[in-house]
């Protein structure tokens, strides 16, 4: 053998060995990769489907190689949406088929985007998909390389971060709302107290009978304003306990009937100033009851105060309390302004008030506190309302101490 032929043999042998080494390396990369890797022909027929792709998508290689395109793993609706987007972006019609996956790569760019992938069993999950064109020595496109990774955990983390940021914003808005509300709600009674005290100081040393009558009026205004401030402070403190989970439940034997009767008499005196009236029906069987009197007083006072506050002058508020099998139902129904459909889902959220309250004073604390008080009794609260038709609040709580204790343990 001449030297030239010998050199050719050596060269060919080295080339074959290099090719074999290169192919072995490619196979090792494909088999060892943690990403799903697919290679297709120019028209999308799958030629390579690595083990990671088989695990991720649930198909065996022999099911898809030379038999399917990557469209098999995608939602047709999502493909159609992407096609419409590319059509608008590039100013020409992009078909909702494999062209959707190649339109960017054909421009010599790497197409990186998020998709929803569909496994063989029909389950769906988010993927980050990278698509690159493959070229021959003449720079002609011979196919496309698809590399996909499951981003379920990343999306979950993003969602958790989004929810955390949303919650943080809500808390920030709540804090701002509290400052604004407290500032506004405190200002009015304080102004009333200040003006009344100035009048009493100015004329206190020289009262005529006429001025004495006015003095009584000013004293009453001061008392009412102080009561309003005290109530507001109590509500703020209760909200703090509710939000921190520190509200306590201390049950004892009480007469729920007497408690209801006492509260309705107190509030009827307030309602009568505007011609309103509470019409009550309280069952005598509620004379023996186990519950937290302080929390129950807050529950009943709040739902009746709301009913009075949002009812027109001269109207009647219906209130009833009676046993129903092993539970007690407490119901307050008014014929007032009602609550809109959009606001109903938020009525038990603190600091939230319906859009139609106008200039009617209120903090938005009430029902959120009531709900917690009811829950501590192992009960439930529901509300039905419609604009202009009034509101009905229904509270259902266990009647026996045994059931109360069971509810608290749960």
In contact, 225 and 179? CB cutoff 8 Å? no
Instruction: Determine the CATH number of domain 159-241.
Output: 1.10.287.130
Reported pTM: 0.50
Task: Confirm or reject CATH 3.30.565.10 for domain 252-409, answering yes or no.
Answer: yes
Name beta bridge partners: 330.
321, 395
What confidence category does residue 274 fall into, taking pLDDT thresholds of 50, 70 and 90?
A: confident
pLDDT value for 367:
85
For the ranges 73-82, 199-208, 341-350, the lowest mean pLDDT is seen at: 199-208
Give domain limits for the chain. Answer: 33-150, 159-241, 252-409
Residue 294 has pLDDT above 90, yes or no: no
Mean pLDDT on 274-298: 90
Residues 209-219: what's their mean pLDDT? 69
Q: Is a pLDDT exceeding 80 seen at residue 147?
A: yes
Share of the chain above pLDDT 70, in %: 72
Strands 252-254 and 36-41: unpaired
pLDDT band at 241 (very low <50, low <70, confident <90, very high): low
List the structure tokens of 105: 């790569």
Rounded mean pLDDT, 311-331: 92
Query: SS3 of 337, please?
Result: coil
Percent over 90 (pLDDT), the chain: 40
The stretches of 58-151 forming alpha helices (DSSP H) are: 61-64, 76-90, 99-102
Backbone angles phi, psi at 130, to 5 degrees: -115, 130
- DSSP for 291-309, please give it: E-HHHHHHHHHHHHHHHHH
Q: How confident is the model at residue 342 (pLDDT cuts 50, 70, 90)?
A: confident
Q: Which residue has the higher pLDDT, 31 or 353?
A: 353
Domain 33-150 matches domain 252-409 at the CATH topology level: no
- pLDDT of 28 higher than 80: no
Q: Does the structure show a pLDDT above 80 at 321?
A: yes
What is the DSSP code (8-state) at residue 74? Answer: B
Mean model confidence pLDDT for the chain: 81
In this prediction, residues 319-323 reach a mean pLDDT of 94
pLDDT confidence tier of residue 325, bands split at 50, 70 and 90: confident
Q: Tell me the fold of 33-150.
A: Beta-Lactamase (3.30.450)
């Amino acid at each position: 053998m001449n030297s030239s032929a010998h050199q050719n043999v050596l060269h060919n042998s080295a080339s074959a060995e290099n090719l074999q080494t290169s192919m072995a390396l490619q196979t090792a990369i494909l088999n060892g990769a943690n990403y799903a890797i697919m290679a297709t022909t120019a028209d999308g027929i799958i030629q390579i489907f690595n083990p990671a792709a088989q695990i991720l998508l649930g198909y065996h290689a022999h099911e898809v190689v030379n038999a399917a395109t990557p469209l098999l793993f995608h939602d047709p609706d999502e493909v159609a949406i992407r096609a419409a987007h590319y059509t608008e972006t590039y100013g020409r019609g992009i078909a909702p088929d494999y062209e959707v996956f190649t339109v960017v790569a054909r421009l010599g760019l790497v197409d990186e985007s998020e998709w929803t992938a569909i496994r063989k069993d029909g389950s769906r999950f988010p993927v980050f998909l990278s698509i690159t064109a493959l070229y021959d020595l003449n720079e002609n496109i011979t196919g496309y390389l698809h590399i996909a990774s499951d981003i379920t955990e990343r999306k979950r983390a993003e969602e958790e971060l989004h929810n955390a940021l949303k919650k943080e914003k809500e808390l920030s808005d709540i804090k701002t709302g509290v400052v604004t509300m407290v500032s506004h709600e405190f200002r009015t009674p304080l102004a009333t107290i200040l003006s009344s005290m100035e009048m009493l100081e100015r004329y206190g040393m020289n009262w005529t009978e006429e001025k004495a009558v006015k003095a009584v009026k000013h004293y009453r205004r001061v008392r009412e304003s102080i009561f309003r401030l005290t109530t507001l402070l109590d509500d703020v403190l209760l909200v703090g306990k509710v939000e921190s989970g520190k509200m306590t439940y201390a049950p004892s034997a009480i007469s729920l009937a007497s408690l209801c009767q006492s509260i309705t008499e107190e509030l009827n005196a307030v309602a009568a100033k505007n011609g309103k009236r509470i019409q009550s029906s309280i069952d005598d069987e509620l004379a023996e009851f186990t519950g937290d009197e302080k929390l129950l007083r807050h529950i009943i006072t709040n739902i009746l105060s709301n009913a009075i506050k949002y009812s027109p002058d001269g109207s009647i508020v219906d209130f009833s309390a009676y046993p129903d099998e092993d539970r007690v139902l407490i119901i307050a129904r008014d014929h007032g302004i009602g609550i809109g459909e959009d606001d109903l889902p938020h009525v038990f959220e603190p600091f939230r008030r319906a859009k139609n309250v106008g200039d009617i004073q209120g903090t938005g604390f009430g029902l959120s506190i009531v709900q917690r008080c009811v829950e501590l009794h192992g009960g439930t609260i529901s509300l039905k309302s419609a604009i202009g038709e009034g509101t009905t609040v229904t509270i259902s709580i266990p009647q026996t101490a045994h059931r109360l204790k069971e509810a608290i343990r749960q």
